[in-house]
Amino acid sequence: MSLSDLYSLQELDLVRAEKQQALDEVRAEIGDESDLQRARQRLAQLDARHSRQEALRREAQRLTDDIETREGAVQNRLYSGAVTNPRELEAIQEEQALLSRQKAEAEDTLLEHMVAAEELQDALTRTQEAVTVLDERRIQRLPHLRQQEQALSAEVDALDQRRAGMLPQIPPQMLSTYETLRVSRGGQSVSKIEQSRGMDICGVCRVALPRSDTEKLRSGDSLVLCNNCRRILYME
Ligand SMILES: [Zn+2]
């Protein structure tokens, strides 16, 4: 029986599991671009909205310019003195009044589109800045993450090598029990016996062990499992 080898194996396995988890987390962070992707998506959406808004603004500007041109032509005719017929003069004055109302409306619309376009431009600038910051942060962080990944990966490999060297010292049946329990007992299948108030207790579940168990363990013929948590008991 080489329970101390089994206990050493468990200590190695627990360290290995920690390193593996850290490695998984680092790799997940290396692959995770979600913040940046969200910001880039928002940038693309804002860009499209801004383009549409700019088109509306240009259209409103064209309409305003057009009305102004027509208004200017009407004014020229009116003040040129060429029109003397009262009915014709009245018609031109009516057209002038109509154009003036149209111009006021067109200018209101133009102003609304200008304000909306400006707001979108501001949002676009802010989002562009956010994307740049996220991009730079990632560029700065990546080398550090890759370094961590390399170091952790090397540590896991070294632990695997040590593990492979330990396995031949452990009887196959014992190893098989260890591996089965490892899956169902949260990676901890061996429990070191501890002392509490003069009694032997299971180091994991802290339940007192019957004397018969510790005697059986001392005689060393077979594996003894904790009655409560069903872990392999080990006495140092
Ligand atoms: Zn126990």
pLDDT, tens digit (0-9, with 9 covering 90-100), for 5-23: 999 999 999 999 999 999 9
Domain around 115: 18-167
Q: How far, in Å, is the centroid of ligand 1 from the Cα of 14?
A: 18
Q: How far, in Å, is the centroid of ligand 1 from the Cα of 156?
A: 29
Domain shared by 77 and 157, yes or no = yes
Overall average pLDDT of the 152-167 stretch: 97
Domain boundary among 167, 191, 209: 167
Q: How far, in Å, is the centroid of ligand 1 from the Cα of 21?
A: 26
Q: Is residue 4 part of a domain?
A: no
First-to-final CA distance of the chain: 13
Q: How far, in Å, is the centroid of ligand 1 from the Cα of 159?
A: 27
Domain shared by 178 and 86, yes or no = no
pLDDT band at 50 (very low <50, low <70, confident <90, very high): very high
- Residue owning tokens 């790799």: 27
* Pairwise CA distance, residues 115 & 3, whole Å: 78
Domain shared by 114 and 228, yes or no = no
* Pairwise CA distance, residues 190 & 4, whole Å: 10
Strands 190-196 and 232-234, sheet pairing: parallel
The structure's pTM equals 0.71
pLDDT at residue number 220: 77
* Pairwise CA distance, residues 118 & 33, whole Å: 30
Q: Is residue 9 part of a domain?
A: no
Q: Is residue 28 part of a domain?
A: yes
Domain shared by 151 and 210, yes or no = no
Domain shared by 90 and 147, yes or no = yes
Domain shared by 45 and 126, yes or no = yes
Q: What is the DSSP letter of 167?
A: G
Domain boundary among 167, 195, 220: 167
The CATH number of whichever domain residue 59 belongs to comes to 1.10.287.1700
Q: Is residue 229 part of a domain?
A: yes
Q: How far, in Å, is the centroid of ligand 1 from the Cα of 173?
A: 21
pLDDT at residue number 39: 94
pLDDT at residue number 83: 83
Strands 199-202 and 190-196, sheet pairing: antiparallel
Domain boundary among 139, 167, 195: 167
Q: How far, in Å, is the centroid of ligand 1 from the Cα of 219?
A: 20
pLDDT digits (tens, 9 = 90+) for 98-107: 999 999 999 9
Instruction: Please give the structure tokens belonging to residue 61.
Output: 């500007």
- Residue type for 26, please? V
Q: How far, in Å, is the centroid of ligand 1 from the Cα of 175?
A: 19
Domain shared by 136 and 216, yes or no = no
pLDDT at residue number 145: 97
Closest CA to 171 of 206, 223, 120: 223
Domain shared by 38 and 111, yes or no = yes
Q: How far, in Å, is the centroid of ligand 1 from the Cα of 224?
A: 11
Number of folded domains in the chain? 2
Q: How far, in Å, is the centroid of ligand 1 from the Cα of 177?
A: 16
Q: Where are the alpha helices (DSSP H) in the chain?
A: 3-31, 34-80, 86-166, 172-184, 211-219
Domain shared by 29 and 115, yes or no = yes
- Residue owning tokens 């468990």: 10
